[in-house]
Amino acid sequence: MNPGKKAQLALPGPLLLVGAGKMGGALLNGWLRLGLDPSLIYVVDPQPSFELKTDLRDRGIALNPASMVQPKVVLLAVKPQILSGALKAVALHVDKDTLVISILAGATLGALDAGLPSRTAIIRTMPNTPAAIGRGVTVMIANAEVSPEQRALASQLMEAVGDVAWIGDEALMDAVTAVSGSGPAYVFFLAEALARAGVKAGLPPELAAQLASATVAGAGELMHRTGTVPETLRKNVTSPGGTTAAALEILMAPDGLEWLLTAAVKAATERSRELGKG
Ligand SMILES: NC(=O)C1=CN([C@@H]2O[C@H](COP(=O)(O)OP(=O)(O)OC[C@H]3O[C@@H](n4cnc5c(N)ncnc54)[C@H](O)[C@@H]3O)[C@@H](O)[C@H]2O)C=CC1
Ligand SMILES: O=C(O)[C@@H]1CCC=N1
């Protein structure tokens, strides 16, 4: 994303971020990079890290304020396991004009609605951590109470930190979570595993780690900047009878990487469904 191309992020009123851990913090960083007014942000987190406390203080963002102006947007970014307790606290700050946006894996619109005042406008989303650098991707679904203005506001908030896709079928959210929500971890593990494989092939550990990280980052950037489909980029690397072909014969075997990723995405999809059952 080129931040220069994005309009300055403006809000109609305060935004309350509930939970500023890895993902809530990534979103916050993304919004601040886009120029969101820090005086419009409240953060509630009972166990803020030292870095978070320092960062919020330096930016003039209220952490765990004793009182607040009624927020226009509440963004829920706590662990799914504490959803019901968090909703009880959040409900105090929700009225008919408040939009509640959830990023919780598994938490359905129905489960969110059950813990909030009746007819609350709710949007369930699944972002991912590259949002911290404006390169996330977020999938969203709204309940029937969300107005066109609130939908546009939610789009604006999440587009500020990357790409956005709206869906109409909530059942897709579990697979979305498995592919793009968890996906960055698979890519980071690829870099870890490639480095370890390099060590086994004789490279010094530091050089192997440097080569693996630079290769994963560079390949992702090449795909991003050229907009070329991955299959073409893969073929561009693969000389007939060469080294890449030798490696891909193993990775593309019936029990190779695609088989593993299919099993991994299935496991994550099922876990997302389980989280939804509480
Ligand atoms: N980490 C990721 O890549 C992604 C996470 N998510 C979702 O984001 C949510 C948060 O995940 P992470 O940021 O990874 O977890 P985390 O553990 O880093 O952050 C959770 C934060 O909530 C705070 N917290 C605990 N109880 C609270 C309360 N009662 N009120 C307010 N804050 C409270 C914790 O102190 C912590 O800072 C989860 O529901 C997860 O499913 C969604 C997409 C990607
Ligand atoms: O691992 C998790 O449950 C969360 C949801 C997607 C990424 N992290």
Atom of ligand 1 nearest to the CA of 18: 31
Instruction: Check the annotation: does 178 bind a ligand.
Output: no
Q: Is the pLDDT of residue 4 over 50?
A: no
CA atoms of 132 and 74, how far apart (whole Å) = 19
Residue pair 96/116 in contact (Cβ under 8 Å)? The answer is no
Sign of CA dihedral 113, 99, 84, 90: negative
Instruction: Check the annotation: does 78 bind a ligand.
Output: yes
Q: What is the pLDDT of residue 7?
A: 58
Candidates 125, 149, 135; CA nearest to 6 is 135
Q: Is the pLDDT of residue 3 over 60?
A: no
Q: Is the pLDDT of residue 139 over 80?
A: yes
Atom of ligand 2 nearest to the CA of 185: 7
Residue pair 72/15 in contact (Cβ under 8 Å)? The answer is yes
Residues within 6 Å of ligand 1 by CB: 18-24, 44-47, 77-80, 82, 85-86, 103-105, 126-129, 181
The residues spanned by each domain of the chain are 3-173, 183-277
Q: What is the pLDDT of residue 219?
A: 98
Q: What is the pLDDT of residue 6?
A: 58
Q: Is the pLDDT of residue 127 over 60?
A: yes
CA atoms of 278 and 272, how far apart (whole Å) = 10
Candidates 109, 74, 78, 112; CA nearest to 92 is 74
Tell me if 127 CB under 6 Å of ligand 2.
no
CA 20 vs CA 53, 135, 247: distances in Å: 10, 19, 41
Distance of CA 170 to the CA centre of its chain: 17
Instruction: Check the annotation: does 235 bind a ligand.
Output: no
Domain 183-277, CATH among 1.10.3730.10, 1.10.10.10, 3.30.450.20, 1.10.3720.10: 1.10.3730.10
Q: What CATH number should be reported for the domain whose range is 3-173?
A: 3.40.50.720
- Residues 199-233: pLDDT tens digits? 999 999 999 999 999 999 999 999 999 999 999 99
Predicted TM-score (pTM) above 0.90: yes
ipTM greater than cut 0.85: yes
Residue nearest to atom 5 of ligand 2 (CA): 105
- Residues 143-163: pLDDT tens digits? 999 999 999 999 999 998 999
